[in-house]
Structure 1
Amino acid sequence: MKPHFGEILSSSPPSLRSRPGNLRGNLLSALWFLFIAACFVGSLSHCQVASAQTQTTVPSPNARSFEARGHEFITPETQKAIDRGLVFLANRQHDEGWYFANSYKRNVAVTSLAGMAFLSAGHVPDRGPYGKKVDKSVEYILSCVSPSGFIKRDDSPEHGPMYGHGFATLFLAEVYGMSPKPEIRESLKSATQLIINSQNKEGGWRYKPDGRDADVSVTVCQMMALRAARNCGIAVPKTTVDNCVEYVRKCQNADGGFRYRLGDRPMSEFPRSAAGVVVLYNAGVTDGRDLERGLGYLLRFPPRQDLIPTNNHYFYGHYYAVQAMWHAGEENWRQWYPAIRDELLARQGPDGGWTDLQINDVYGTSMACLILQMPNNLLPIFQR
């Protein structure tokens, strides 16, 4: 039996595109909701969701009902927080499409995550209140694609260029089919091929696309991009996915968490462990001992401010943890999401943003908006 949130908390201090969630808020009218629904349905002509290991199956009635009811978790207070967060992001975008984000300005990862935050609210390129913002982000990312397919901006500081490349590739895959720009597909293909070509012999990736080393965190970022690209019909070899899954499995520790790299001492941490669980789900692993142990580890750290410090990759960890609980099923989701939702609402700043001490507030706000909007179920990469 899979562990669930309630058991842990009581003892310690998707698939084909589904219909969009309820787009509420003052900015979106009922007519706009119908228009966005048509846009997402129309994008099916471009994107096909396919598992890297298994054939697509029709969800059970209970699964469909669970996904359809997701919007019920977005309370009026939550929608208000999301709206304020999107205003915060919109006000910090440069005319070129990148974001004013302290030392990380012009960063492709930050730009891509902000773009995805708008997409998660139903805003598509050139359509809707923030459509222009999305389109500018797309234009900026396309301008950063090199002839080799590497998505990088040399004059922007970053923790590791493959992080930026992975998130930018993911963003292009999510916006593909929503924009008429023909260059998106070619850029997505070349970016995907660069990931495939740079996988190291262990099955993972690290900071540079040279195939010399690997760690769990960067590996998960590339795997998410590959899955999103495959959803859009871009060819991804099965061996690439299989080798990635094998690498992640080998990094799992006895306590269910994940170490940073093969060969490191077996020390687990919540952020990368959440990422490790999500990559298994996205690779088509839906059950088994690895997932049970991984979920068991995550459930030792329910959303509570005294358990996960804000300077320990807080937003990164919960970005993946909320996806893990969405995949894990309704019982865990019904207890995990309200907890992280309420915690994020309490942490929102007066200006509508969320503070991240390690990267910047644009990054923190983008991640918070993505977490809060998971129940919208609009982005294919998050669907069960």
Structure 2
Amino acid sequence: MSAPLRPSFTTAGIPPSVVPPPRDRWRTEPNEPAADVAVPTSVFRRLFDKIRDLRKFDWRTIDWRLENTPPWLISMVLHLSLLLALAFITLAASGGDRALLTLRQGEWEPQAELAEFVIEPIAPLELPIEAVAEIQHEPDFDFHSLQVDQPTVETVAMASSSPMLDQLIAKTTPSADLTTPIRTAHPAMFAGRSGPLKAELLKKYGGTKVTEDAVALGLAWLKRQQLPGGNWSMRGPYTTGSFSENETAATAMAMLAFMGAGSTHRSGPYEKEVLRAVHWLVKQQDRSGFMAHRANSHEKMYAQSQAMIALCELYAMTKDSWLRPYAQAACDFAKDSQSPAGGWRYQPRTDSDTSVTGWFLMGLKSGQTAGLEVDPDVLLRVGKFLDTVGGGYDEGYAYMQGERSSPTMTAVGLLCRQYLGWQRNHPAMSRGLITLEANYPIDPGQPDVYYWYYATQAMHHYGGPLWDDWNAKLRVDLPAMQDKQGAERGSWPPQRDAWGRLGGRLYTTCFALYNLEVYYRHMPLYSQDQTDVW
């Protein structure tokens, strides 16, 4: 059986064996029927010849060549053609005047500007309404309604002191003015926290074995509460913790208690605890010096200022060079976040209140003591803010401008005035402290360790009979309030304290310890002849 004939592409009697002449490469030939048509002009004749030549082409030649072409070559040509086509499509999409929006996941890059750490708006405390109502107000402090005998300020015969103590508490030349714009911090501000000087100060200012035993028990309790990471918590693991968490504040407060009794990260019975704590604390600091990012909005600046004090005091006590940049950054943040009014509050550079301002001022004074850079203008502005919340010679100090004064804020304001340069014989200083001691003494029936903390420091610096009367209650009543048995042995219960239900057991314990360490925690600001010490 003969093979089937291939279909012939020839028409009009044109033999298939004739090879057609080469055609124009870029011309498209029309598909017209093969017919002998009479054309009127030579142009149409040439067109007809082209069509006829095309029909003479032997397409079997192409078919044979395709059959003998390697498959890989055909595949490569097809794929290259497809890729070229896609490439032209992509180029076409990116050309022209059209705008293309490219989306990608961004990466956060921290900035050194303070605005990066703007603190969110104040959120209400997670407390039952009843708890807030019981503690949110403090008794008004009205000097005009008080009937207080004004004793004359006189010197007190103190126990004999050693040459070391006499050298540190040396008299300066009295100033003719009752105020000094800025008191320069003394390099020996924390010198009494350990060694023989600690024992001398304890004796000189009325500390006892009972007060020291209470401090030892309290520090042992704090040690047991340290978390594996080196920090402390406001909520636990102890009982009756705070309603809200603030690890930065908790860690700073615990550090200050250990340091107040003489321990640092390089020496002392709690050296290891302080070392772990400071390593945790500096890890919280960003490039602006801020350390309280995870605290609640209304607690951030409290925590920041307390952490600032801890770093500055630790650097002042040890001069450990690696601490300096962290402490300096905290001081720089204080300067950058000061409000136009001259103080600090919940948000940087916004408004001011006496409570937060007191903490920041203590941090700056600790920075001065450590030899850090502290702008004197920052301290001058603090004094101007205190002028707006204080009533001069006749009134105490208020929480904010326009509010009535209170005992706690008066104690804060007077302590700030002492560190800013008021001399001991300033009339407003004497009147304010005498009124506090006579009308708002330490009362175990109404504990308020926050008020006691500020009043105790101010009374201690002032000295004289006023301090003796205040300390007579402090050294007896405060140790008696300490838990002496059980799992919380060494701590102070928060339930009855004015702010204890907010702060929790760690808060009341730390502030009680600050009060009982007052005899040696800071060197006194004044001597006993109504002049400045430093």
- In structure 2, the CA distance between the partners of 1:55 and 1:220, relative to structure 1 (3 Å rule), is closer
Quote the residue 1:204 is aligned against: 343
Whether the 8 Å CA contact 1:192–1:225 is kept in 2: the answer is: yes
Alpha-carbon contact 1:204-1:216 (below 8 Å) kept: yes
Match runs of 1:184-263 below 5 Å: 184-209=323-348, 211-253=349-391, 255-262=394-401
Matched, 1:70 2:202: yes
Q: Is the 8 A contact 2:186 2:369 kept in 1?
A: no
Paired residues, number: 327
Which residue number in structure 1 is paired with residue 518 of structure 2?
374
**Greater displacement, 181-190 / 365-374:** 181-190
Which protein has the larger Cα radius of gyration, Structure 1 or Structure 2?
2
Distance in 1 (CA, whole Å) between partners of 2:332 and 2:259 is 25
User: How many Å apart are 1:296 and its aligned residue?
Assistant: 3.3
Q: Percent identity?
A: 26
Amino acid at match of 2:351: D
CA deviation vs aligned residue, 1:145-193 (integer Å, no higher than 9, x gap): 1111112141x44642111111111111111044575332111111111
The 3-state SS of whatever aligns with 1:334 is helix
Match of 2:247 among 107, 119, 135: 107
Matches within 5 A, 1:335-350: 335-350=469-484
AA partner of residue 289 (structure 2): G
Say whether the 8 Å CA contact 2:407–2:436 is kept in structure 1.
yes
Matched, 1:121 2:261: yes
Shift of residue 247, structure 1, vs aligned partner = 1.0
Q: Distance in 1 between matches of 2:473 and 2:307?
A: 29
Partners in 1 of 2:234 and 2:184 — Cα distance?
Answer: 41
Rounded Cα–Cα distance in structure 1 between residues aligned with 2:395 and 2:477? 25
Map residues 32-51 of structure 1 onto 2, 5 A cutoff. none
Distance 1:67 1:220, change over 3 A: farther
Residue 302 of structure 1: CA displacement?
Answer: 1.0
Deviation sequence 1:84-139 (CA, Å, 0-9, x none) = 11111111011212213214555222211211111121212143321111112211
Tell me: CA distance 1:80–1:358, structure 2 relative to 1, closer, same or farther (3 Å). same
Name the residue aligned to 2:292.
152
Q: Write the letter of the residue equivalent to 1:215.
A: D
Q: Which amino acid aligns with 1:202?
A: A
Give, in whole Å, the separation in 2 of the partners of 1:79 and 1:245: 35
Residue type at the aligned position of 1:96: G
Tell me: CA distance 1:57–1:164, structure 2 relative to 1, closer, same or farther (3 Å).
Answer: closer
- Read off the aligned partner of 1:240 and give its amino acid letter: V
Partners of 1:381 and 1:296 in 2: CA distance: 18
Residues 299-352 of structure 1: CA deviation (Å, up to 9, x unaligned): 22111234xx34xxx111111111100111232111212212212112112321
**CA distance 1:232–1:304, shift in 2 (3 Å):** same
> Please, which runs of 5 or more residues in structure 2 have no aligned partner?
1-146, 152-160, 169-179, 189-196, 236-242, 494-499, 527-532
Q: Report the secondary structure of 2:503's partner residue.
A: coil
- What is the root-mean-square deviation of aligned Cα atoms in Å? 3.2
Q: 2:405: which partner in 1? A: 268
Contact persistence 1:174–1:381 (CA under 8 A) = no
The DSSP-based 3-state class of the residue aligned with 1:358 is: helix
Larger relative contact order, structure 1 or 2 (CA cutoff 8 Å, min sep 6): 1
Say if 2:312 and 2:363, in contact at 8 Å, map to a contact too. Answer: yes
Please report the TM-score for the alignment, with normalisation by the length of structure 2: 0.56
- 3-state SS of the aligned residue for 1:279? helix
- Please tell me the residue identity of whatever aligns with 1:108: T
| Cα deviation, residue 294, structure 1 | 2.3
- 2:89 matched to which residue of 1? none
Residue pair 1:228, 1:381 contacting (<8 A) in 2 also? no
Please tell me the residue identity of whatever aligns with 1:89.
Answer: L
Per-residue Cα deviation, 1:195-217 (whole angstroms, up to 9, x for no partner) = 112211211111122x1111111
Q: Which amino acid aligns with 1:183?
A: W
User: CA offsets, 1:217-263, max 9 Å, x none?
Assistant: 1111111111110111122222211110121122113753211111x
Q: Amino acid of the residue matched to residue 247 of structure 1?
A: F
Q: 2:463 aligns with which of 290, 310, 329?
A: 329
Query: What TM-score does the superposition give when structure 1 sets the normalisation length?
Result: 0.76
- The residue type paired with residue 360 of structure 2 is Q
Cα displacement (A) at 1:293: 3.3
Give the match for residue 361 of structure 1.
505
Q: Which stretch of the first structure deviates more once superposed, 249-258 or 118-127?
A: 249-258
> Which residue of 1 is the match for residue 312 of structure 2?
173
Contact 1:151 1:165 in 2 (8 A): yes
> Where does residue 162 of structure 1 map in the other structure?
301
C-alpha contact (below 8 Å) 2:182/2:376 kept by paired residues: yes
**Unaligned stretches of 5+ in structure 1?**
1-6, 12-20, 22-36, 42-50, 60-64
CA distance in 2, matches of 1:112, 1:171: 6
Which one is further off, 126-135 or 138-147? 126-135
- Name which of structure 1's ranges 284-293 and 200-209 shifts more when overlaid on structure 2: 284-293
User: What amino acid does structure 2 have at the position aligned with 1:174?
Assistant: E
Task: State the distance in 2 between where 1:140 and 1:190 align.
Answer: 16
Equivalent residue of 1:176, what SS?
helix
> Per the alignment, do residues 189 and 305 of structure 1 end up closer, same or farther by CA in structure 2, a change over 3 Å counting?
same
Once the two structures are TM-superposed, the CA of residue 74 in structure 1 deviates from its matched residue by: 2.4
Q: Greater helix percent: which structure?
A: 1
